[in-house]
Amino acid sequence: MIARRPTGFRQFRAVRSLPRGTRYTSVAGADHRRGLFGTVVAVGLRSRRLVWDYRGKVAVVTGASAGLGRRFALDLASAGAVVIGVARREERLQALVDEMRRHSPESSYRICDLSDAASFVGLLEQVEQELGRIDILANIAGVGGIIRTEPTTAASLRSIMEVNFIAPVAGMLTVLPGMRKRGFGAIANMSSDDGRAPGPGGADYSASKAALSAATESLSYDARPDGVFLHAVYPGWVPTEMGLTSVRDGGLSMPPRAVRRTEEQVSSLVLRRMFDPRLEINVASLPLVAPILRTVAPLTYQRMRATR
């Protein structure tokens, strides 16, 4: 028996549904692995280089004027998506749109300060009304990430939580009903390894990213059965304006090479995994060791983590 290789979400469900002894092959017949184990291996290998069809998809990307947000917006537009870039700096957004429209003539931008979550919600509702839907929401914008020399205050916590947590969650709650009704959609939220392995001096930033990851996971359980996939993205350390500032002026030591990634590496992996059922998108593997070490050797972990 020969099964044609399914695509999209059906690809992942097919692993459990193929009968014993089924040969799993591509339409071209290039893959002739047999049995369930071979099927799992084949799907795993293919998912590493899988590219989804983004042509005509409507995507909203925050933080699009610089860094990871800009890179992701450009890559989505290059893949054929209609991208709405969101940020505060209009001059940079205009330059971004000029580049995006080389591949996606309908792409545009909106100016929005994410410290005002109500404005962001209104923006998303307007996009849905004008374009009929939002297929992809990428919450990339963020603030913080520096080691504070003074204690965290309620005011500093509130300002960071507004941008890093409240606005992204409000955005998710705005677009999820439409995505679930249509049975299609994806949301990628930019988290941080500081959210799951916090160090000293950045309690407000770490708390905001931990909260965002928790909200993303909780909402994903409701959305996934309807064909909508939510992701917490852990990019490692990336030499963006924010990343470089945290090292140059923010007291952070230069991270080891094993956790350094480029904007292109992060964007490429997120594009490949956008409609993958797995919640976390880990661009660097080394930070995954920290939660394990904290569990099996807590005192050693705390001594190591006490310094940056």
**Residues in Cβ contact with 13 at an 8 Å cutoff, skipping those fewer than 6 apart:** 6
Q: How far is the C-alpha of 3 from the C-alpha of 205, rounded, in Å?
A: 48
Distance separating alpha carbons of residues 159 and 148, to the nearest angstrom: 15
Tokens 């860094």, residue located: 67
Catalytic residues: 191, 205, 209
**CA separation for the pair 18, 12 (Å, rounded):** 11
- Length of the chain in residues, anyone? 308
Q: Where are the alpha helices (H) located in the chain, listed in sequence order?
A: 9-17, 35-49, 67-78, 90-100, 117-131, 154-161, 167-182, 193-196, 203-223, 241-248, 263-273, 289-296, 298-305
